[in-house]
Structure 1
Amino acid sequence: MEPKNILKAHLAKTITLTDDQFDYFYSHFKPHSFKKGQTIISAGDKVDSEYFVLDGCLKTFYVNDDQKMFILQFAMSTWWASDYNALYGGVDATVNLDCIADAEVLCLAGDDRERLCNEISALQYFFRWRSNKGYVASQKRLLSFMNNNAKHRYEELLSMYPLLYNTVPKHLIAAYLGVSRETLSRLY
């Protein structure tokens, strides 16, 4: 499917735009191709954009002082990714964003997003809905960490996102679940 149509179908699940409104919205996106392993955002970077994934898979992650990786998010087709604290807080990035697989994305600058939301109220609704949905997912994940063992979190992840199992290497799933690769191998 053409990138424009992927984004249009994604929006249509939540809001209705006229063709002119959508074309105007779409004109603010810049397409980018990234290779597997390529970095999009590194800790310490200034962040001015977010990324809508058309194809491929990204990961948002943090590396602590002991060089242990913690995966915050996987982003597959029709998911959005960035360091949102850096994007909206005006601070340097604290997380990294890179490609698990070759990826095609549409990049939207934060300033453009804000202007578009002020100009088209349906977009303001869409981005607020999306932010709320992300907040709820983060809260559920945090509660799962507090209340469930690794096996339950693994089963929960695969039931919600079955494509991850064949897309994401097991050591990254382990980092997402907060367990070692060895522990994960005992779970399946």
Structure 2
Amino acid sequence: MNRLRLHIENITPVNDEEFEFIKSFFTLKKVRKNQYLIQEGEDVKYEYLVLSGIYRVFYSDDLGKEYVCMFAQENWWMSDYNSYFNQKPASMYLECLVPGEVLCLSLYGREKLAAELHKMEHFFRMKMTRGFIALQLRIKMLLCNAPQKRYEEFAKLYPVLIQQIPKKMIAEFLGLRRETLSRLYTNQK
């Protein structure tokens, strides 16, 4: 739980009493490779803070084609947020790619923390703001950049992910065919 405290204190300081209250809302979960934390159609009970491991959040269309929305690694938050906040069945999947641990936070816990501790309301607002900015930058990257530029930016921003995630999934994330990514990857070497 010390890592949770450090994560929160990157945005706002908390004292020992506040942190005892905060940590009471989180549960630790060990996650195996290929384990799903969320599957389409299920109730979404938690958002997750990644302590370790690598995860992907993706959609699947009626033909089984997958569309990766995000990869998550240490200190990233993830969920199917439309389902989490609106309390409706999931429309996406959250899968573990590299085994690790996550902290689970229910919507009730999040709301209670935000209501009772202004510091946590501020923390959650800052995290959501940063996530929204990252999403806008991702959309811009997909709409405005050629495949080569998309790959170069991804490789620069996420050097660990480029080494640990299957190329097929990176291609899905970048909106490319697997063959195109292979050609770009070969040209970089």
How would you bin the TM-score normalised by the shorter chain? Answer: over 0.9
Per the alignment, residue 182 of structure 1 pairs with 179
The Cα shift of 1:98 comes to 0.8
The Cα shift of 1:48 comes to 1.8
> Which residue of the other structure, out of 123, 139, 149, is the alignment partner of 2:136?
139
> Which residue of the other structure, out of 159, 164, 168, is the alignment partner of 1:162?
159
C-alpha distance in 1, partners of 2:44/2:75? 21
Q: CA RMSD in A?
A: 0.9
1:75–1:81 CA contact under 8 A, matched in 2? yes
C-alpha distance in 2, partners of 1:9/1:52? 13
Per the alignment, residue 82 of structure 1 pairs with 79
The Cα shift of 1:42 comes to 0.4
1:58–1:103 CA contact under 8 A, matched in 2? no
AA paired with 1:27? S
Per the alignment, residue 123 of structure 1 pairs with 120
Per the alignment, residue 28 of structure 1 pairs with 25
The Cα shift of 1:178 comes to 1.1
> Which residue of the other structure, out of 137, 142, 149, is the alignment partner of 1:152?
149
* Deviation readout 1:117-148 (Å, 9 max, x if unpaired): 00000100010111111111111111111110
* Deviation readout 1:43-71 (Å, 9 max, x if unpaired): 11111211111110111000011211111
C-alpha distance in 1, partners of 2:164/2:2? 23
**In the alignment, does 2:91 pair up with 1:106?**
no
Q: Normalising by structure 2, what TM-score?
A: 0.95
C-alpha distance in 2, partners of 1:21/1:158? 39
Unaligned segments of structure 2, at least 5 residues: none
C-alpha distance in 1, partners of 2:2/2:75? 11
Per the alignment, residue 18 of structure 1 pairs with 15
SS in 2 for 1:163: helix
Unaligned segments of structure 1, at least 5 residues: none
The Cα shift of 1:91 comes to 1.6
Per the alignment, residue 68 of structure 2 pairs with 71
The Cα shift of 1:75 comes to 0.7
The Cα shift of 1:38 comes to 0.7
Work out the percentage of aligned pairs sharing the same amino acid: 38
1:39–1:97 CA contact under 8 A, matched in 2? yes
**Deviation beyond 6 Å, 4+ runs, structure 1:** none
The Cα shift of 1:94 comes to 0.5
SS in 1 for 2:159: coil
SS in 2 for 1:103: strand
AA paired with 2:37? I
* Deviation readout 1:79-123 (Å, 9 max, x if unpaired): 111000000012211110010011211101111110010000010
AA paired with 2:174? L
AA paired with 1:184? L
AA paired with 1:26? K
